[in-house]
Amino acid sequence: MIPSTAPSAEVMASHLLAAVARAAEEGRRTNLELLAEEVGLRRAEARRTLSALDRQGLIDVVRMRPTLLGFAVGRGLEARGLPSLRREAETLRRVA
């Protein structure tokens, strides 16, 4: 069996939440296509992850803005440093 090259859900969520918080801080409007491109994900991956963040109360997907909690978490994640989205995939490919 070939290992999946998709990044983990947690890593995708971290990157998307940080991107939405950054856009809000800069006063930019964003949407699914812009976020997927900025973060480097497929639209389907971004949509699924944003929906999960919405269910958790971190993002309002209708307005594509972070909640207050989501903003704080997103900025904190970015300040701490985000893991590479594709590092996991590269490691799996080398092992396979």
**pLDDT(4) > 60:** no
**pLDDT(17) > 90:** yes
Residue 59, in any domain of the structure: yes
Whole-number pLDDT of residue 87: 61
Confirm whether pTM is higher than 0.85.
Answer: no
Residue 4, in any domain of the structure: no
- CA–CA separation, 35 and 20 (whole Å): 8
**pLDDT(92) > 70:** no
Mean pLDDT across 30-40:
95
Whole-number pLDDT of residue 3: 53
Residue 45, in any domain of the structure: yes
Query: Going by DSSP bridges, is the β-strand pair 59-60/65-66 parallel, antiparallel, or unpaired?
Result: antiparallel
List, as one string, the DSSP characters of 64-92. Answer: TEE-HHHHHHHHHHHHH-PPPTTHHHHHH
In the chain, the number of structural domains is 1
Residue 1, in any domain of the structure: no
Assign 59 to helix, strand or coil.
strand
What is the 8-class DSSP label of residue 56?
A: T
At 61, which CATH number?
A: 1.10.10.10
**pLDDT(83) > 90:** no
- CA–CA separation, 67 and 73 (whole Å): 10
Residue 3, in any domain of the structure: no
Residue 56, in any domain of the structure: yes
Whole-number pLDDT of residue 1: 46
Q: Which domain holds residue 22?
A: 9-91
